Amino acid sequence: MSVHQKTTSTRTNLSTATLEGLLVLVFGWKLVIDAEIYNKVVQASGERPNFAPRKVNLRELMSRKIRIKKGADIRLKGRPTSTVDAAASTATCAVQPPNYHGITPKLEVKEGSAVQVGTPLFFSKESPAMKFLSPISGTVKSILRGEKRRILAVIVESDDKNDAVSLDKIDVLSASADVIRDAMLSHGMFPFLEQRPFADVANPADMPRSIHVSGFDSAPLAPDMEIVLKDRMEAFQNGIHALSSLLGGQAIHLGIRSGQTIYNDIQKVELTAFEGPHPAGNVGVQVHHTKPINKGETLWTMHAEDVANLGETLVSGVYTSKRTIAATGSEHPDPRYLQTHIGCELSSLTNGLQNDSVRVISGNPLTGTHAAADGYLGGLDHQVTLLPEGRDPKFLLTAGWLSPGLDRFSLSKSYPTWLLPKSKEFVMDTNTGGEERAFVVTGQYEPVFPFDIYPVQLIKSIMANDIDAMEKLGIYEVAPEDFALCEYACTSKIDVQDIVREGLDNLKKELG
């Protein structure tokens, strides 16, 4: 063989080897990693007889990690310390039907009625077996009504005794789906189940495809679930068992923050780890990236703290409405965690702050409700936020849009503060910086909307009440909270969440 032929052959062999290496690198890397994980798990299981199969931790093999790239973390000042204190006791408590979207309340009590913890205050007209119970004992002080005599709140005055109704105790490990369902309805826990599509209180007549729980909250200043669920993991596990029994033994989908260890020993769950900015903690985002919902399907969701309340209520036979609230915000005099119950007076969470220049929000800054300082905690809220109202006029060159913006947060990198460390926090007020304008395509929604959906086109189809377009553009997968960052980023100042809520309600009415 000539030197030329040898050189050519060598080059061919090198090219072939290089090509094979690239193919392995590009297409085979995941298989190699999976094989390494499998071997590691098998070897860790210890020596077993040759005739017996090795014990493999399938849960570890099947766990997934998903990186959410779209979104934004709004770095507000006023994060709570890890201190957990008992909130001051309050004279009254309110159960507010508007907090539970999709139900029409029918009263079971009247003013002056004596109630105990767990006494039914009202039930759902659509599902009469669905009871809404009193979190405290005492006397029904008043029933607040709005337009067309719509019930806004049932206010109970406390007697400081906390006498409780004895409810049936349930064995969550052996109970059938029907027993669990009936107990959740009568024990006041079913209203905390939300259904998708439509993002309202679940219909007990439906059989969901799956149940999803988010094990962390990524919203601004959101409570840390490891603090909220501290010393309550047994109750959380019992709640998971109950939800699993409701599905006939099917595992519950639990989304966790990558690196979380509090859920390591929880059984009957399918874990999926998520990384990335808000809204990675939204259960709708987690559903979209793990098991998207299609037309004709129904799934249910539940907050992690409500899962613990469910487990404690069913096992103990006493209605549990505990809340470990993150009292947050730059205007809060002492941001920390406070233990209380559903519907407590907000003054017990704000140190009695009474200031017209401060906005009290029941919930997080993006999706919460503007509440009066002497109002009540929302039934589904786990956070209270205090922010400046932002009513004062701002001079154009020093604090307006032409200012250097050295103390202003921006999603669009309009100000140099985006170069600062991620630990930098900002004081932000509630000023929208303008009024509603023409709704045009600006490309601002897509970077903060981690769905394979065209957000602007979907919003416009809702505004046009085009049912066919809404269905094609994916309205069944979304809830108003999924558009909270879009609303924050919108230069047109459109109330996107209200539009989505109206669209879901119209769609549900149209479909019957």
> pLDDT per residue over 257-294, tens digit each?
999 999 999 999 999 999 999 999 999 999 999 999 98
Cβ–Cβ < 8 Å for 153, 132? no
Q: Quote the CA–CA distance of 483 and 70 in Å, as a whole number.
A: 13
pLDDT number for residue 340? 98
Cβ neighbors of 421 (< 8 A, separation 6 or more) are: none
Residue 36 DSSP SS3: helix
* Contacting residues for 239 by C-beta, under 8 A, at least 6 apart: 172, 306, 307, 308, 309, 310, 311, 312, 314
Classify residue 316: in a domain, yes or no: no
Confidence at residue 63, expressed as pLDDT on a 0 to 100 scale: 54
What is the C-alpha to C-alpha distance for residues 433 and 489, in angstroms, rounded to an integer?
A: 11
Cβ atoms of residues 169 and 318 within 8 Å: no
CA dist., res. 225 & res. 227, Å (int): 5
- Going from the C-alpha of 71 to that of each of 74, 187, 422, 449, the distances in angstroms are 10, 38, 15, 6
pTM: 0.86
For tokens 């405290």, name the residue.
136
Domain boundary among 62, 81, 112: 62
How far CA 163 is from CA of 166, 319, 322, 504, in Å, comes to 10, 11, 16, 40
Per-residue confidence (pLDDT) for residue 7, from 0 to 100: 40
* Residue 90 C-beta-side C-alpha neighbours within 13 Å: 28
pLDDT along the chain (512 residues), means of 10: 41 42 44 43 40 39 80 96 95 97 97 98 97 98 96 97 96 96 98 97 96 98 97 98 96 96 96 97 97 93 98 98 97 97 96 91 97 95 96 78 82 84 91 88 94 96 96 96 96 96 95 81
pLDDT of residue 9: 42
Q: What b/e readout covers 135-158, taking b as 16+ CB neighbours within 10 angstroms?
A: bbbbebbebeeeeeeebebbbbeb
- The last residue of a domain, from among 62, 77, 92: 62
In a domain, 482, yes or no: yes
Residue 226 belongs to some domain of the structure: no
The answer to whether 107 and 172 have CB atoms below 8 angstroms apart is: no
- The span from the CA of 363 to the CA of 376, in Å, is 11
Domain stop point among 62, 79, 94: 62
Residue 58, pLDDT score: 43
In a domain, 154, yes or no: no
Number of domains, the chain: 2
Q: Indicate whether 511 belongs to any domain.
A: yes
H/E segment holding residue 94 = strand 92-95
Domain of residue 511 covers 432-512
Considering the domain boundaries, does residue 36 fall inside one? yes
- Contact in structure between 409 and 417 (CB atoms under 8 Å): yes
Do β-strands 322-328 and 383-388 pair in parallel, antiparallel, or remain unpaired? parallel
